[in-house]
Structure 1
C-alpha cells in the first residue's frame, strides 16, 4: 500500500491533511481527508473515498475526487500510477510462482 500526504487547498483551514494512495489488496486508489485535531485527540476522518474494491481504478478518477480538497502534483500522479502498475506486476509474479509450484508437484 502506498500513502502520500498532501497539503489542503488554502481555502480549507478546517482540514489538517489530505492523504491519497494505492491499496493493492482492494485494487483501488483512495482519498482520506482529516479534520484539524483537538488538543487531546487525533484528527478525525472527515471524508474517505476508495474503501471498496475497485472503487477508484485510475489516477484521473483519484484526481477528480481529491480536487475539492487538494491538488495532486503531476510527479505524484506518475508515482501513483507506478504504485498501481508495480503492485499488479508483483501479484502476477506471485501467482505465476504459485501455479508453477502446483504443476511441479
Structure 2
C-alpha cells in the first residue's frame, strides 16, 4: 500500500489534507479528503473513494476524484502508476519477497 499527502487547492480552506495512494489488497487507488479539525477533535472525512475492491482502477479516474480538492502532480501520477504495477512495495519489501521466494518460503 502506498499513501501520499496532497496540498489542498488554495480556494479549499475547508480542507486539511487530501490523501491518495494504491491499495494492493483491494486492487484500487484511493482518495481521502479530510476537513479542517475543530479544536480537540480529529479531522472528519469529507470524501472517501477506493474503499471497495477495484473501485478506482486507473490514475485518470483518481485524478477525476481528486480534482475538486487538490492537484495531482505529474511526478506523483508516475509514482502511483509504478505503485500499481509493482504492488506499492518499496524496494526493500520487493527484495525481501524475492529472497524469501528464493529460499523457498513461498512468500513471493
TM-score by length of 2: 0.81
- Tell which structure's C-alpha radius of gyration is larger: 1
Q: CA deviation at 1:52?
A: 0.6
Between the aligned partners of 1:60 and 1:5, the Cα distance in structure 2 is: 18
Q: CA deviation at 1:84?
A: 0.4
Query: Mapping of 1:49-88 within 5 angstroms?
Result: 49-87=49-87
Residue of structure 2 in register with 1:44 after alignment: 44
Contact residue 14 and residue 36 of structure 2 kept, 8 A: yes
Residue of structure 2 in register with 1:15 after alignment: 15
Over the aligned positions, Cα root-mean-square deviation in angstroms equals 2.1
Unaligned 5+ segments in structure 2 are none
Q: CA deviation at 1:26?
A: 0.3
Which has the larger share of helix? 1
- Measured against aligned partners, the alpha-carbon deviations of 1:44-95 in whole angstroms (never above 9, x if no partner) come to 11110111100000111101110011010000000000000001897xx89x
SS at match of 2:48: strand
Residue of structure 2 in register with 1:33 after alignment: 33
| Aligned pairs, number | 96
Q: Which runs of 4 or more aligned residues in structure 1 lie more than 4 Å from their structure 2 counterparts after TM superposition?
A: none
Unaligned 5+ segments in structure 1 are none
TM-score by length of 1: 0.83
